[in-house]
Chains A and B, each alone.
Chain A
């Protein structure tokens, strides 16, 4: 009698633990086959024919249409340069350089990968539209309140991520092809 109860309890714990770890790993695309570049990560095998089961499962579940390696690379940051999670109450400065690419775009998304509603109606910056310094460098300010210069509004999510897409880039995501120095920094300026 007690053995059955104990076994049942163990089975329940096992089932819950299995489902929970699966959910936790897939929620962030899984830790497999990613390359880190400062605060940015690249899922190197997203959409590839030989993608690992975690990458594949997380793509299938989300319905995302991945950017092909021949088209470009998608970098995602969920924390700043110091490793602190991005917070809606803070001001971040992104720049001054981006890796070589014909075009790049910087977008702000919620935890599920969709743009966040904001009064300015601004969801993305293109490399071809931003204001630049005389030396070609740029600063994009990510904040909830309006900011001078290139302002990417946060809207009002609790958690958000920054997505940097490099189109037609000579960079290869494999085997250290990405130089750390090339990625834009995400500096936390101040917090409310």
Chain B
């Protein structure tokens, strides 16, 4: 009888510990995105002020900043802040193997991406807008002469744009980096 009582008590404490473990687990998992100060956006922000373009250093064993990045691919980033209006993104395509453009929210999600297959006239171009800015632009649009801009709505006011340029051969890496560095993010003029 005493043995069974002890067993029941042990089971009770064990159960309580398990419940607590599950609680801790879920709280930690859900709170990491809120607390993470070393996420991709923070690491990009370290490079310098917006909206300038910054090349990311060539991926190698000595530089441990962005994990799971491709050493064959040259990259450059620019941050955007839509507080004062839309931001135009321009990335010329070159003779490299492949170039792409991806749009990242403040929280790290990719809200749009394109490759140079979608490029027109030798460049990838888009305008990043907030939902309110998009409504304003659509209201302004001339129906007979529609804007040719590709407008992309960002879920967050801040974020960053990244261009990836693949080098077909190791020797072509500097050329790929030079092409990536031509990425430009410029705030749109207030009204036109």
Interface residues, chain A, with chain B CB atoms under 8 Å away: 6-7, 9-11, 13-19, 21-22, 25-26, 47-49, 51, 53-54, 56-57, 59-72, 74, 102-103, 105, 107, 109, 112-117, 123-124, 126, 128-129, 155, 163, 165, 167-168
On whether the beta carbons of B72 and A61 are closer than 8 Å, the reply is no
| Majority SS at the chain B contact face | mixed
State the B residues within 8 Å of A (CB).
Answer: 9, 13-14, 16-25, 28-30, 32-33, 36, 38-40, 42-44, 59-62, 64-73, 97-98, 100, 102, 104-105, 107-115, 117, 155, 162, 164, 166-170
Find chain B residues with CB under 8 A from A10 CB. Answer: 13-14, 16-17, 20
Q: How far is the CA of A48 from the CA of B2 in the complex (A)?
A: 56
Are A60 and B110 closer than 8 Å at their CB atoms? no
On whether the beta carbons of A47 and B168 are closer than 8 Å, the reply is no
B20 near A14 with CB under 8 A, answer yes
Does B68 contact A109, Cβ atoms closer than 8 Å? yes
Q: Is the CB of B25 within 8 A of A22?
A: yes
A-B CB contacts (within 8 Å), total count: 195
22 A-B contacts (beta carbon < 8 Å) = A7-B13, A11-B17, A14-B19, A14-B20, A18-B22, A21-B21, A21-B25, A22-B24, A22-B25, A47-B108, A49-B155, A65-B44, A66-B68, A66-B108, A68-B100, A68-B112, A69-B110, A102-B97, A114-B64, A165-B70, A167-B166, A168-B98
Chain B's nearest CB lies how many Å from the CB of A22?
Answer: 5
Is there contact, CB below 8 Å, between A123 and B60? yes
**Alpha-carbon distance between A168 and B114 when the two chains are bound, in angstroms:** 9
Contacts of B36 in A (CB 8 A): 60-61
Known: A6-B13, A19-B28. A112 touches B67 (CB 8 A): yes
Known A-B contacts A15-B20, A18-B24; A68 and B66 likewise in contact (beta carbons under 8 Å): no
Check if B59 sits within 8 Å of A123, measured CB to CB.
Answer: yes
Q: Is A18's CB under 8 angstroms from B21's CB?
A: yes
Q: How far does the alpha carbon of A113 sit from the alpha carbon of B30 in the complex, in Å?
A: 23
Measured between alpha carbons, how far is A190 from B25 in the docked complex, in Å? 41
